[in-house]
Amino acid sequence: MWQTGKSEERLLVDYLLGKLPDEKLAEVEDRAFADRAFLAALQAAEADLIDAYVRKELTGPELRKFERLFLASPQRRKKVEFAGTLARLADEAVQPAQSSSWGALFDWARGWGHPLQFAAALGMLACVIGLSWLWSENRSLHSRMANLQSRSSDLERQAHDLTGRLAEEQARANSLTAQSKLPSPPPLMASLVLLPGATRAQSNAIQLLLPAGAQVAHIEIQLEAADDYPRFRVELRTARGDEVMARGNLLRQRNAGGFAVSLDVPASALPAGQYELALKGVSNDSAKDLGFYSFTVRRQ
């Protein structure tokens, strides 16, 4: 079970009110997707925030954030309306003397005889207990429904992934069948994989072979576990320092080895020769050098 302290509760509330920066926002969403206990804590924080709003406990910037961002969702507005209705019923049940409807009912009962007054009091007490129980059960039901929705979403994602894989495998089988009946066309794309931690001598030995007719060179840069940045930038230069191309706003993608950054370079921009590639991690408009790679382009 995921336990929340003061700092974790503050983090969940800031997420719900849209007060987190982009990298923290993505971190919370990734954790909620992977950790069901964390997701349940997030849903509980949402219920507490709604309860604080309907009871007018939110003030200042948090109230404005809640009304401007949190209430932008139709689904969340329905939750707030439902919670407000239950809160009013519970308040009327707990404080009958302050409620016009409950007060009128008590005044009406005072005109009866003592036995009837006793029966009416019991009936009112049963109503109070019933409404309190209903409020408690609603909160518990809300939590259970959220857990069931989470499990249902997981099953739907798994079914969608399996369907996609099946379609990919079917397409691949159809492609292999078609290729076996036709002569192999000349390759149009060449690939190069750059691994982290290679020495300069090892990097100089890496070669990108561009066959005749190749139009694109696909370069994939394997990342280390610590290279966790929202965006990446790649700069490609000749050995003399002339810039060939630069690409920014690149996102990391999962592959068999972990995560990698990839880009496609037109083959026409890569004459035979020596090249250097710089990989940078970008966060909050600042870039950090992550690695430098050297390779040689050969043409057939």
Mean pLDDT, each 10-residue run in order, the chain (300 residues): 65 82 85 86 85 84 80 78 74 54 54 53 62 68 69 76 85 80 68 79 79 92 91 94 93 90 94 94 90 92
pLDDT of residue 112: 54
User: Domain spans of the chain?
Assistant: 6-153, 189-299
The fold adopted by the segment(s) 189-299 is: Immunoglobulin-like (2.60.40)
The model's pTM is 0.38
Look at residues 131, 52, 135 and name the one whose alpha carbon lies nearest to residue 96.
131
Q: What pLDDT score does 124 carry?
A: 61
d(CA 64, CA 60): 7
The b/e string for 147-184 (b: 16+ C-beta within 10 A; e otherwise) is eeebeeeeeeeeeeeeeeeeeeeeeeeeeeeeeeeeee
